[in-house]
Amino acid sequence: MTKEQLEIMRHSLSHIMAQAVLKFFPEAKLTIGPAIDNGFYYDFDLSDKSFSPEDLKKIEKEMRKIVKENQKFVHYVLPVKEAKAKLKDNPYKLEMIEELAAEGEKEISFYKNVNKDGEETFDDMCRGPHVEFTSEVGAFRLQKIAGAYWRGDEKNKMLQRIYALAFPTLEELEKYEKLLVEAEKRDHRVIGKDLFVLDPVVGLGLPLWKPKGALLWRLIEDFWYQEHLKNGYELVRSPHIGSRALWETSGHWNFYSESMYPVLEVHKSLKEYQNKAVVDKPKEEYLLKPMNCPFHVQIYKSEMRSYRELPLRWAECGTVYRYEKSGELSGLARVRGFTQDDAHIICTKEQVEAELKQVAQFIKYIFDSFGFKDYRIYLSLRDPSNKEKYAGNDAGWEFTESVLEKVADELGLGYQKDIGEAAFYGPKLDFKVNDVLGREWQCSTLQFDFNLPQQFDMTFINKDGKEERPYMLHRALMGSFERFIGLLIEHYAGAFPLWLSPTQMTVLPISEKFDDYGKKVVAKLRQANFRVNLNNENESLGKRIRQAETEKTPYILVVGEKEEKDETVAVRKRGEGDLGPVPLPRFIETALGEIENRK
């Protein structure tokens, strides 16, 4: 089954679900019911009532009855005026009709279901297409109930959404359900509870990092700094806020303001702020930064630049803030305050190809280092039929798109073209990691930028002593630390490799009598730069071993009379069990080798 056929099947099922809902809840107002990656959903306005798990069972049973009846999907259209009259009691459909009419539509598309006796059983405004008969919809299962704002806007009414899974065959559906069980086991919001916390009192989408999480972050960040310095990058830093004038110049205020936090008004005093209604205009206006790039541009412009300085590679782990709708927030994967592993490369036209290659190889190195093997690469290009959406001219786009494609081909990246997905300021290569369910998560990106060099009048003095406009590349290797760590937690199911584990080893004295030797072992391990703790709590050895295993500690080192006498440790390795006694120096050497190889 093709992707298009699968979408048609799933969307047809959403209509069947709406038909079943109306049988039990005739007062429900229908809104939209699209196909999604693993199935479909439909949003309903049910006034003061709420769907229950028991309702889902009834609805699913009725859906199976409709499927078995092999009802026919019949398409027809109505003039706008008649469509409005037909749906006069449904404000959601009327809103959509108004939008279609404003776009120039003269007729509105509908689909109705007809049973074998020719009787109409269901009718809904829909662009389609659908399968021909209800029996052609494959395997499905209603999954869950959730709240959803109309059009995803928090200012609108909260609707009730029913999610469902749908696949061509029962075998595929059951296979996916097994993956869901595995995904639940790996959910970073559950198994990462010792690493971070999301507290609504602090604010939605603003993670707090606990000691182990902060340490994991630091380990990743130290690796990031080390590798960037090796690759010829210099470090820069920028503030968390910038003047409104900066964002107006960059174009973010015009193109991106809906995702930016409101203006911060700076007054002379608190009293003036409290009485701001009588103040004509605040003295200064600032915004939380959604991106780091304008700051890096201003560093560049702080002095005259020569072609001899280029390329400049400036990197920053900078925290940015973007207003995401509350319904779109998801653990660490989608937050409002996050730290980008950002960098900007400013270079000449002749240097572009080499810089692109270096970054693409750097991204692959990062993925390999952290164990990510399953990812897809997209070459995001301009939509040639909608050029007004983009900055720059045709010549610039033709050059940048062709050189980006050439680099991807020469490196054998195995990319997929994504027409219309370029940023407004240039084409890009996007690297998306697949999770256990096959869902794609944007991580690394490599982007051209026509906009900022032009908006900020960036120049350098070329070999001929004349001013020339540089090229600017945006790139992030991890994307954001928050999402990257969330993906790492799920990728390893919380069992991080030795080099990344916040706690690498736990030393367990068999009894209080061997505490001194346990402390001696801990001291030697710490001298070798291992992250180790001593658990000499007044609990049984078995219970302490189980605790360390639950915490997914890579190594458990048990010490008692024999180990003290022989200066050894009894080693238990995660995933391998009891390895027996090992001389401490040899254990240290082995563990250091694992870390060096990032295992």
Catalytic residue positions, numbered: 293, 322, 340, 342, 344, 428, 474
Q: DSSP characters for 487-528? A: HHHHHTTT---TTT-SS-EEEEESSGGGHHHHHHHHHHHHHT
Question: What is the helix (H) or strand (E) element at residue 362, kind and residue range?
Answer: helix 352-369
Between helices 481-491 and 211-230, what is the axis angle to 10°? 110
**Contact (Cβ atoms closer than 8 angstroms) between residue 491 and residue 371:** yes
What Å distances lie between residue 359 and 297, 476, 528, 531, CA to CA? 20, 9, 34, 32
- Tokens standing for residue 119: 């009787």
| 441 closest CA partner among 318, 335, 327 | 335
The residue to which tokens 């989608």 are assigned? 334
Do the Cβ atoms of 282 and 301 come closer than 8 Å? Answer: no
Say what angle helices 53-68 and 3-24 make with each other, to 10 degrees: 120
**In Å, what is the CA distance from 318 to each residue of 241, 291, 337, 359, 453?**
11, 8, 10, 19, 21
Q: Which residues pair with 296 in a beta bridge?
A: none
One-letter identity of residue 307: Y
Q: How many whole angstroms separate alpha carbon 576 and alpha carbon 581?
A: 14
Q: Which two tokens stand for residue 341?
A: 């592993």
Tell me if 4 sits within 8 A of 33, measured CB to CB.
Answer: no
**Cβ contact 121:60 at 8 Å:** no
CA angle 179, 183, 187 (to 5 degrees): 175
Compute how many other C-beta atoms are within 10 angstroms of the C-beta atom of residue 559.
25
User: Coil, strand or helix: which one is 200?
Assistant: coil
Residue type, 563: E
Q: Which residue has the tokens 């971070």?
A: 196
Hey, CA dihedral for 545, 548, 554, 557, is it positive or negative? negative
Q: Evaluate whether 427 touches 441 at the Cβ level (below 8 Å).
A: no
Number of H helices, E strands in the chain: 19, 28
Minimal CA–CA distance to 411: which of 345, 351, 366, 359?
Answer: 359
Tally the C-alpha atoms within 13 A of residue 84's C-alpha that lie toward its C-beta. Answer: 10
- Token digits for 580? 């027996």
Rounded distance between C-alpha atoms, residue 51 and residue 29, angstroms = 14
The three-class DSSP label of residue 291 is coil
